[in-house]
Every structure is written in C-alpha cells, then in structure tokens.
Structure 1
Amino acid sequence: MISEGGSFMRGMLIGVAFCIVITLLGHIKLSHEPTTSHEHHHIHAPNKEEVLKLMGTEKMELSESIQVYCIILVRPKDLSLWAAARTTWSKHCDKADFYSSEHMKVFDSIVLDSNDMWVMMRKAIQMAYKNHKDKYNWFFISQPSTFAIIENLKYFLLKKDPSEPFYIGHTVKDGDLDYVNIAGGIVLSLECVNRFVDLMNKPDKCPETGSIIWKVSEDKQLAMCLKHKGVLAENAEDSEGKNVFNTKSVGTLIKEAMANDPQKVVEGCCSDMAITFSGLSPNNMQVMMYGVYRLRAYGHSFNDALVFLPPPNSDND
C-alpha cells in the first residue's frame, strides 16, 4: 500500500506536470496568433534622391498639383496668437481662413457660433469642403499656437494621392484609439474630408455632441468618427524615421535632446524637414519666421529639386 506521504508527492508531481503542459500549450497557441500592433501607420517623406531624378516638367506639375487649404480654429482668448499666425506662416498656405467661436471686430473670420472645439472643428471642415473642395486637395487644421512650414508639408505630400483617405500628423495612442494630436496639426486629404462630411449625417457614428459623462477632445472625436469609414491615423516621419509634426516648441525639443544625449543635440532634436512646432508664443512665431524664411547664410545655396512659392497675394518670402 502506498503511504499518504507517497500519495501526496505523486499528486504534487502530477500537478506540476499538468501546469507545465498547460503553459506549453499556452505558448504554442500564442505563437500562432498575430502579434498586436498599433492601428496607425508610419508614412515617410519622399526620398530626396528620387525627387532629384524627376524630369523638369514633372517637378513643375507635382509642385503645382498640391494645393493646401489651412483651417485655423480660434477663440477670443487666442487674440495675440491669432494676430501672429495671421502675419506669419499662414500666408504661405494656398488659402488660409480663421474659424472663430464668435464674431471679433479686430480680424476677419468665419464665425461658427460655438465655443465647443469639437463643434467648431466639425463645422469648419464641413464649410471648407462645401466652399473649396473643387480648388484644394489637402486640408490642414491647426491651433493658433502652432507654427507650420507649408513648403515642407507640400514636400511631404509630394507623391501622396489626395483621392486616397489620408489622415496624417503626430499620432498618439489612447487605449484602443490611435489619433492625430491637433497640437501638431492635422492633415486630411480631399477624400478623407469627403468621408468625414458624409459621416456627419450619421449621428449614431459621428455625433455632434460628445459623451455626457466625460469630455472627449476634438482630435479624439475626429479619429473615432473616421474609424467608422476605415480611415486610420498615420504618423508622419522623414526618411530617417524622425517625426515631422511636433507637438512641442523647438526650445523644448532641444532641452529634451540635451538631457537625453548632450553629444547629439541636433540629431536627437528635430527633423531637417519638420513641418510643425507647437506651444509657441506670438514672439516665438516671429522668431520662427525669421529663422525659417529670412535668415540666410551668405554664399551658401540650396539645390532643392522643387520650388513651392507662396500665393501671389502674400507679402512673405
């Protein structure tokens, strides 16, 4: 007869063996499952060497084919930023309009009669599409504290088809949702705007009012709506994998780079083809304008393959 101690030991061994089998089976099962990945995609700017190989006529056609309409959402508290954006980078858009929550005597704007940023964004996109869909094929949405280099945006969009549903910028993950952070600016292709406007007629999928329980930011609301049309957020990067839409200012990014690796401040900071920087003061905008468009190194010339000129009525370089 087997003793109680022997029975106990045998039970322990069987239990351990059973656990090992279950663990192995679990690993086998997991190995056949697809690995979880972010829903957003990573898309890159064109390779400079490829652009240099383009024929002269093709370069001209490409540079003229990209027409950017800028939507800048403003409220009365943004007055000084509004003024700075109006006199600096926004003049390089093919057309820029300020969409305001209420009427302001100081500057002309398109009045939306709402202080809710999600309602403002919805109305602004809808109006922009209705009035400008036949002339502009890319729509750039930003806050007044964002500085955008439109020429770099056009370069990034060079070989991207606006008839495809592009939703581009600096992506952020929040739970199961990937969205483009409005601080860095949001770029929508004509087709993406077309799909979004269609969704506005379906309140069950894209409601004008957010959740009663908690407030969801306008950029997250946009992503939630577009998801119903199969449009996912795409993170924009240069050919080296660096972000080109930035949700922070140049100064902040430099400080972070110095803290991370003082020997590689420039390499660790920002892309040479950066499109946006955010969180700027009005004075910062003027400094950015000077650095990007006016400062020149005498005797040094850039051999860019393409030229993107600001609109004829712009008094900026």
Structure 2
Amino acid sequence: MTEFHLTLPQNTDFNKIREEPFGEPIRRRIHRYPKRMLILLLVGISVIILYTNWNNEIDDIVNNMQVIRNRKHNLRNETLAETLEREVRVLCWVMTTPENHKTKALHVLHTWGKRCTRLFFVTSKTDDEFETIIVPIEDKYEFLWGKTREAFRYIYNNHFDEADWFMKADDDTFVFVENLRYLLYEYSPDMPIHFGYNFKLDNKNISSYMSGGGGYILSKEALSRFVEIGLNDSTKCRINENNNAEDVEIGKCLLASGVVAGDGRDKFYKQRFSPFEPFATLIPNYYGTKFWYYGYSFYHVHNCRDCLSKYVVSFHYVASHNMDVYNFLKYDLEVFGLDELEEEDVLPEKLIFDEIKIPESDNSIEYHF
C-alpha cells in the first residue's frame, strides 16, 4: 500500500490556520483597502440597477408594440372612420319626389344616408319618416335646375353652420361616405372648390362640371360663393329660369363665381365618382365605344377590371334593392382570413389651396355639344 506524507513548513501556526482557512478575512481587507472595496460595491450596485432598468424598458417596448399591433389590427379602420366623421362634416341632400319616398328615398335613408352628418330629402311634400326640404317647384326632370338652386339657397340660409361640405345626390345614387370624407380630408372647407365626376363644360376641354347623378359636393366657401355671388348676378347664373340640366347650370355658375372644379380621381388617376353602376367601368366596352360618355368625360375613360379606385365614392343608376346589396357587401359581409391591414390606411397631409394643381383634360375624343 502506498503511503502519502504531508510535510508542513517549520514553525507552522495551527491555530492561525484554523482561524483563517481561506486567507485574510474580508473585514481585514475592507479595513486595509476601503476605497477599492467601495468602488467594487458601487459598480456592482450600478450593474444591477442598469440591468433592471434595461429589462423593464425592453418589457415596456414589447408591451407597447403589442398594444399598437392590437390597435392596428382591431381598431385602426374604425378609428380613422371616426376621426373623419368628426373632422369632415358632410351635409347630404337627396333629390327625390313624393312617389319615390317609400321606395328609393327610404333605401337611401337606411343605407348610406345615415352616415352623413346631416341628411335631407328635397321634394315637394313632407314625409314623417325623414327630414325634408320643400321646394315649391313642379317635380319634373326639366325643372331640376330650379329645385337644385333653391335647395342650396335654403341650406345656405338655414343649415350653413352644421357642416363643412355640402353634397347633392339623386335618390338612385349610392355613396360611400367614409371614402368621400377621405377624399375631402386634405382640403380645407375654406377653399372655393367642388368635386364629382368631371364632364366637359365646353368643346374646348378647358373647364368641367360635375355629373349630377354621380353626386357632387361643394365646400363651405364654394356654397357661400354660389349663393352670395352667383345667385345674385343673372350674368353668372340663370336665376330666373327653372328648366335646363341642373349639373351643367351649377357648373357654369360655380365657374363664374370663382369656384374651382377639383379632380376627384385618386393618385393612380382612377375614378372615385361614377355616373353609372360599377360594371360600366369594370367591363370593357360595356356600352360600346361610341357611347356619349367617352367623348363627354373631361378625363380619359378607362374600362377594365382594375379601373375603379378602391376608395370609390359613388355610383349612379343604382336600383332600390341594390342599395341594400351594396350596403351588405361593404358593411356586413366578411371574408374569413382576408382581413389584412392596408399600408395606405393613413390620413394624408393637408393641402394649401395655392399649391393645388388641377390637371387639364386628357380626353382627346371629341363630342359635339
């Protein structure tokens, strides 16, 4: 068996080894090196504090990102719609007749009309189911200019402070009011401007007016100029006659009163207002290439499956039952698994009127007026 022997130095103090088995006591080191030990202590405490704060900040960032992500996923579109509703007040008035009250007018009331800030129906008889503006002019197509003129005059005198923008539509027009507000948001209601589907006002392609059926909307300043300037000057507006096409007449009157005809197309030059139902734009040559619409439009007409703006504002010639269909498809129908955020779902910057550039007509097709 191998034996091991432990040899200790001479004069070894066994009592000292028992008292200090690991060398010099901590208390003696602190006494001998007070500054050095204090620095080490402070550094240790600082590291612990920094790590704790950093860890808390990371947690806060992660939590905030999650909140933002959830808000974008669940509330972003709704929040923007609510913001637009508060900041862009739109008064809508709809041209109708007593025989259309219980059919067309009620469909407007129960679908897109309820999303306007205020809603009125211009007619010749009152109705208990909606607010009316009574214009004592015969309900005939040839007198639409007189009804339109007096409706705007009444709204200016009685409801001017209740909205920032004032839209005229027919009882067979369907309007996506949220998209209308989105279009108007970057413009100030103090700008003398109006929007709609641009038709040529003359055969020189210099100026345009807005389609009556597709709906057109006047800013607060545009309405003020129309009533205060145009309707007080017979050289600017036909104020003593009721007949003629209302959209052409108001277009001429607004132009003479210093109101600009805005370009309602989106940034891709796709139409947001339509004087027809969707298939007139989505289906190539639906009406044929010789249809008056192609030569009469101020901007070049495009027909294809991707030619409508995804932020379309209005359609015309919409049957009463189709208003409920449009309303269901947009506001009630959901397609499972396709609900994704749009990167463009942000509000645009406000524009300055002097910097607004209205494109000239790019439609070279001639139409004989």
Q: Is the structural similarity TM-score above 0.5? A: yes
Residue 111 of structure 2 corresponds to residue 88 of structure 1: yes
Give the corresponding residue for 1:283: 321
Which residue number corresponds to residue 166 of structure 1? 193
Displacement of 1:175: 2.3
Give the CA RMSD over aligned residues.
2.7
* Greater RCO, CA 8 A, separation 6+: 1
Runs (5+) with no aligned partner, structure 1:
1-51, 53-58, 308-317
TM-score, normalised to structure 1, is 0.69
Q: 1:153 aligns with which of 172, 180, 192?
A: 180
- Amino acid across the alignment from 2:155: A
Q: 1:227, 1:259 → 2: CA distance? A: 31
SS state of the match for residue 242, structure 1? coil
Match of 1:236 in 2: 264
Higher Cα Rg: structure 1 or 2? 2
CA separation of 1:267 and 1:61: change in aligned 2, threshold 3 A: closer
Gaps of 5+ in 2: 1-71, 73-79, 289-302, 348-369
Residue among 82, 92, 101 paired with 1:70: 92
SS at match of 2:163: coil
Partners of 1:151 and 1:254 lie apart in 2 by: 22
Counterpart-to-counterpart distance in 2, 1:184 and 1:259: 17
Note the C-alpha offset of 1:257: 6.5
User: For 2:250, which of 212, 218, 222 is the aligned residue?
Assistant: 222
Distance in 2 (alpha carbons) for counterparts of 1:104 and 1:113: 15
What TM-score results when the alignment is normalised by the length of structure 2? 0.60
CA distance in 2, matches of 1:107, 1:162: 27
Q: Distance in 2 between matches of 1:272 and 1:195?
A: 32
Shift of 1:233: 2.0
CA distance in 1, matches of 2:198, 2:179: 18
Tell me the CA shift for residue 160 of structure 1.
0.5
The residue number in structure 2 matching 1:202 is 233
Matching residue of 2:221: 191
Q: Once the two structures are aligned, what percentage of the paired residues are identical?
A: 26
Tell me which residue corresponds to 1:303.
341
Q: State the alpha-carbon separation in 2 of the partners of residues 257 and 141 from structure 1.
A: 29
Residue 120 of structure 1 corresponds to 147
Question: What's the offset of the Cα at 1:265?
Answer: 4.5
Q: 1:180 aligns with which of 196, 199, 210?
A: 210
Mean alpha-carbon deviation: is it higher for 215-224 or for 181-190?
A: 215-224
Specify which of 304, 310, 318 is matched with residue 272 of structure 1: 310
Where in structure 2 are the equivalents of 1:33-44 lying within 5 Å?
none
Q: CA deviation at 1:201?
A: 2.0
Letter in 2 for 1:99: V
Instruction: Give 3-state SS (helix, strand or coil) of 1:256's partner.
Output: coil
Deviations 1:80-111 (A, max 9, x none): 21121111110011111111133456754221
Query: Whole-Å Cα distance in 1 between the matches of residues 253 and 273 of structure 2?
Result: 22
CA distance in 2, matches of 1:258, 1:111: 38
**Match in the other structure for 1:252:** 280
Q: Could you say if the C-alpha distance between residues 295 and 229 of structure 1 is closer, same or farther in structure 2, counting changes exceeding 3 Å?
A: same
